[in-house]
Amino acid sequence: MIRRRIADTVAIAVAALTVFPIYWMVLSAVKPTGEIQSADPRPWTLHPTLDHFRSALGVSGFGRYFLNSLTVALAVVVLSALVSFLAAMALTRFRFRSRTTILVMFLVAQMVPVEALSIPLFFQIRDLGRTVPGIGLNTLGSLVLVQLAFSLPFTIWMLRGFVAAVPVEVEEAATVDGANRLTILWRILFPLVAPGLAATSVFSFITAWNDFLFAKTFIISATEKQTLPAALLVFFKPDENDWGGIMAASTVMTIPVLVFFVFVRRRLVSGLGGAVKD
Amino acid sequence: MSNSATIRRQRLTPLWLLLPALAILVPMFAYPLYQLGLLSLFDYGQPQVSGGVPARFLGLGNFRTLFGDQVFWTVLGQTVVFAAGCVVVTLAVGAALAVLLTRVGRVARTTLSFAALAAWAAPAMTGSVVWMFLFDSNLGLVNEVLGLPGYNWLYERSVAFALVGAVVVWHSFPFVMITLYAGIQAIPESVREAAALDGAGAFTIFRRITAPMLRPLITIVVIQSIIWDFKVFTQIYVMTRGGGIAGQNMVLNVYAYQKAFASSQYGLGSAIGIVMTVILLVVTLFYLRALRRTGEAL
C-alpha cells in the first residue's frame, strides 16, 4: 500500500513537471508585461490580461498566420486521408508483383532526412511557380504539396493495419447484395476505416502544422502567406524579447494541436499499436 | 460480366488505387531525392542560381571538400553524440515511466498520460520557445530559482546541447512511454501468473518474461528514436539561433541548411544531405531486419 502511494506521488510529480512548461507558457501569455519583467517571477498572477493576445492577433497579424497554418494543415489532412486510404486498400486487399517493393520503399521514405530535400525542392518549386502560379514560391499551395508528400509514406503505412482489420466478408456480402466496387469503397469500407483515419490524421495534421523549415524556405518575401511557426521568429529581437507576445502566439499555436490530440487520444494509442505491431 | 474481364479488372485496380499516391510521391519526393544526389555532384552557388554561369560538374569534388574539412567531422561527431544522448535519455525516461504506469492507481495514470500527451502535442517550435523563456538569462524562471542571475545557458557548447537535448527528450519520451505501456499491457496476465506460481520473483519476471516479450517493440522504438533525433532541426535552429555561437552547436541538418541557404553553396549543402541519407539508410536496414525478426509479413 505504501509502495503504491509512493508510485502515485512520483507519477503525479512527473506529470506536474512535464506539463509545467505549457502551464508557464499560458500563464506568461496572460500576465501583465510588468510582472513578466519583474526580477521575481511568481507562478500565478492576480491581474490576468488579454493584452498580449490582442497585440499578437491584431498588430502582429497572427490571426492571418493562424488561418494560413489552418488552411495548409486541413488541406494536408483531407488530401492525405483520401490518397492514403486508396493506397492502403491497394496494398492490403490485393497481391501483385511489386507490392513488397512498394511497401519497403514507403518504409525507407520515412527515414529520408526531408530537411535536406529543402535544397532541391526550393529550385523545383521556384521553377514550378513559373508555369503553375498556385504552387510556386510564396504560396500556401507549395506547402500543402510538400507536406502531403512527406506525410503519405507514414499515413499509408499506418492505415494498412486498419484496412486489414476490416473483414473481407464485409466486401463479399456487399458484392452479393449487388454493390459495385466504387460503392463498396466509399459507402462501406471508408466509414469502417474512419477510426484509423482519425489516428493518421493526427500525424499529417501535426507534420503540416509544425512545419517550420519549409515555410521558412518557400515563403521568402510574401509575409502575408507566412504560417505560424516561421512567423513566431519575427517576435525575437536581438536585445529585448517581447516574451508576453511570444507566449501568447505560442499558446495560439499549441491549442489546436492539443484539442486534436485529446479528441483522438484513444484512437492514437490503438493506431500506434497498429503501426508498430502490424 | 465475363470471367476474363473480371480478372483483368482485378489486376488493374491496385494500380488505379495507388495512382494518386504515386502522382504525389514521384514528383515531390523521389524526384527531389534524385535532384539532391545530382546537385551534390555540381558546383552550384549564387552565380549559377542567378543564371549567368553554367553549373560546373565536380564529380565527387564536394565530398572531397567535405571530408577534408575539420568542421564537417566535428559536426558529424557532435550530431552522433547529441542524437545518441537524446535516444538513451528518452528511452530510459520513457521505459521507466511505462513501468511506473503499470504500478499506479487510475487517477495518477490518467494524470501522467494527459501530461505526456500535452508535451507530445506541443509543436517543436513552441516547445523550443517556451524552454528558451524558462532558461532566459535575465527573465527566466530557472535562473531565478537557482540564483544564477544573468547566466547564459547557450554560451557553452555542452550546456547548450544539454538544454536543447532536454527539449527533445521532453517532446519524445511520451511516444516511448505510451508505446511501451501498451506493449506491457498486451502481455497476457496468465503468463506472469504462471511464472509467479512457479516461484519467480518480480525481478525475475521482468528480466525473463516482460523484457524478452517486449524486445521487438523496444527495437522498433529505439530505431524510430535514432531516426528522429538524428534529424533534429527546429530545436537547434531556433534555440541556438541557427547553430550556436560561432556554429558550435551545429548538427548535420542545420549545417546542410546553412551551407545551402546562408552561404549559397547549394552543391556542398546537398552533399551533406546525401551523407545524412546514407547514414539513415544504414539504420533503416537494421530496422528492416528487426521488423523481419518480429515475424512481420510485409
pLDDT at A141: 93
**B271 half-sphere exposure, CB direction, 13 A CA radius:** 21
Residues A187-208 have pLDDT tens digits of 888 888 888 888 788 888 988 9
Residues B121-180 have pLDDT tens digits of 899 999 999 999 999 988 889 988 898 888 999 999 999 999 999 999 999 999 899 888
Which of B200, B230, B250 is closest to B86 using CA atoms?
Answer: B230
Rounded-to-integer distance, Cα B153 and Cα B140, Å: 11
CB atoms within 10 A of CB B107: 11
**Interhelix angle B106-121/A243-263, nearest 10 degrees:** 120
pLDDT at A110: 87
CATH-assigned architecture of domain B71-249: Orthogonal Bundle (1.10)
Instruction: For residue A116, give the nearest of B38, B125, B277 by CB distance.
Output: B277
Beta bridge mates, B56: B43
With an 8 Å Cβ cutoff, are A246 and B133 in contact? yes
Q: Average pLDDT of chain B?
A: 88
With an 8 Å Cβ cutoff, are B28 and A269 in contact? no
pLDDT at A207: 87
In total, the C-beta contacts within 8 angstroms joining chain A to chain B are: 274
DSSP state of B297: -
B117, B174 contact by CB (below 8 A): yes
pLDDT at A267: 62
- Pull the grid cell for residue B140: 527566466
Q: Average pLDDT of chain A?
A: 86
Cβ contacts of A210 on chain B, cutoff 8 Å: 123-125, 234
Q: Exposed, middle or buried, A241 (CB in 10 Å: 0-12/13-18/19+)?
A: middle
In chain B, residues 45-64 whose CB comes closer than 8 Å to chain A: 49
Instruction: For residue B39, give the nearest of A22, A99, A120 by CB distance.
Output: A120
Residues B211-237 have pLDDT tens digits of 888 887 888 888 889 988 999 999 999
Beta bridge mates, B43: B56
pLDDT at B283: 87
Residues A2-48 have pLDDT tens digits of 888 899 999 999 999 999 999 999 999 999 988 888 777 788 888 88
Amino acid of residue A190: F
Residue of chain B minimizing CA distance to A260: B121
Cβ contacts of A90 on chain B, cutoff 8 Å: 13-15, 17-18
Rounded-to-integer distance, Cα A41 and Cα B135, Å: 13
Give the mutation candidate from A4, A17, A18, A110 for the B interface (greatest B CB count, under 10 A): A18
Cβ contacts of B127 on chain A, cutoff 8 Å: 21
Alpha carbon separation from A36 to A59, A222, B121 (Å, rounded): 20, 33, 25
- Pull the grid cell for residue B156: 557553452
Residue of chain A minimizing CA distance to B273: A116
Cβ contacts of B261 on chain A, cutoff 8 Å: 118-119, 122, 217
Helix (H, G, I), strand (E, B) or coil at A31: coil
| Residue A275 reports pLDDT greater than 50 | no
With an 8 Å Cβ cutoff, are A41 and B144 in contact? yes
Alpha carbon separation from B287 to A83, A111, B139, B223, B273 (Å, rounded): 26, 10, 44, 6, 21
pLDDT at A234: 75
- Pull the grid cell for residue A42: 511568481
In chain B, residues 95-114 whose CB comes closer than 8 Å to chain A: 97, 100-101, 103-105, 107-109, 111-112, 114
**B226 half-sphere exposure, CB direction, 13 A CA radius:** 18
Residue of chain B minimizing CA distance to A251: B126
**B57: phi then psi, degrees, rounded to nearest 5:** -75, 130
With an 8 Å Cβ cutoff, are A117 and B32 in contact? yes
Q: Exposed, middle or buried, A107 (CB in 10 Å: 0-12/13-18/19+)?
A: middle
Please indicate if any CB of chain A lies within 8 Å of the CB of B79: no
- Pull the grid cell for residue B26: 514521384
**Interhelix angle B157-186/A265-277, nearest 10 degrees:** 90
Largest CA distance in chain B: 84
Residues A103-149 have pLDDT tens digits of 888 888 888 888 999 999 999 999 998 888 888 899 999 999 999 99
pLDDT at B12: 63
pLDDT at A272: 47
With an 8 Å Cβ cutoff, are B14 and A90 in contact? yes
Residue of chain B minimizing CA distance to A265: B117
* Average pLDDT of the segment spanning A270-277: 43
With an 8 Å Cβ cutoff, are B124 and A153 in contact? no
Q: Are strands B56-57 and B42-43 parallel, antiparallel or unpaired?
A: antiparallel
Alpha carbon separation from B220 to A58, B119, B186, B188, B277 (Å, rounded): 46, 21, 16, 21, 19
pLDDT at A277: 35
The interface predicted TM-score (ipTM) is 0.86
Distance between B77 CA and the closest CA of chain A, angstroms: 18
Distance between B88 CA and the closest CA of chain A, angstroms: 18
> Alpha carbon B255 to chain centroid distance?
16
Residues B75-133 have pLDDT tens digits of 999 999 999 999 999 999 999 999 899 889 999 999 999 999 899 889 999 999 999 99
What residue segments make up the domains of chain B, in order of their start?
71-249
Distance between B260 CA and the closest CA of chain A, angstroms: 7
Alpha carbon separation from A31 to A16, A175, A229, A242 (Å, rounded): 21, 62, 22, 12
With an 8 Å Cβ cutoff, are A277 and B217 in contact? yes
Please indicate if any CB of chain B lies within 8 Å of the CB of A166: no
DSSP state of B42: E
DSSP state of B150: T
Give the mutation candidate from B22, B25, B31, B285 for the A interface (greatest A CB count, under 10 A): B25
- 3-state SS record for chain A: CHHHHHHHHHHHHHHHHHHHHHHHHHHHHHCCHHHHHCCCCCCCCCCCCCHHHHHHHHHCCHHHHHHHHHHHHHHHHHHHHHHHHHHHHHHHHCCCCCHHHHHHHHHHHCCCCCCCCHHHHHHHHHHHHHHCHHHCCCCHHHHHHHHHHHHHHHHHHHHHHHHHHCCHHHHHHHHHCCCCHHHHHHHHHHHHHHHHHHHHHHHHHHHHHHCCHHHHHHCCCCHHHCCHHHHHHHHCCCCCCCHHHHHHHHHHHHHHHHHHHHHCHHHHHHHHHHHHHC
Distance between A72 CA and the closest CA of chain B, angstroms: 15
Cβ contacts of A149 on chain B, cutoff 8 Å: 24-25, 28-29
With an 8 Å Cβ cutoff, are B182 and A115 in contact? no
Rounded-to-integer distance, Cα A126 and Cα B32, Å: 13
In chain A, residues 168-227 whose CB comes closer than 8 Å to chain B: 181, 206, 209-210, 212-213, 217
Instruction: For residue A111, give the nearest of B17, B130, B283 by CB distance.
Output: B283
Distance between A92 CA and the closest CA of chain B, angstroms: 10
Domain A62-242+254-277: assigned CATH number? 1.10.3720.10
B270, B39 contact by CB (below 8 A): yes
**B224 half-sphere exposure, CB direction, 13 A CA radius:** 19
B266, A102 contact by CB (below 8 A): no
| Residue A245 reports pLDDT greater than 80 | yes
pLDDT at B1: 42
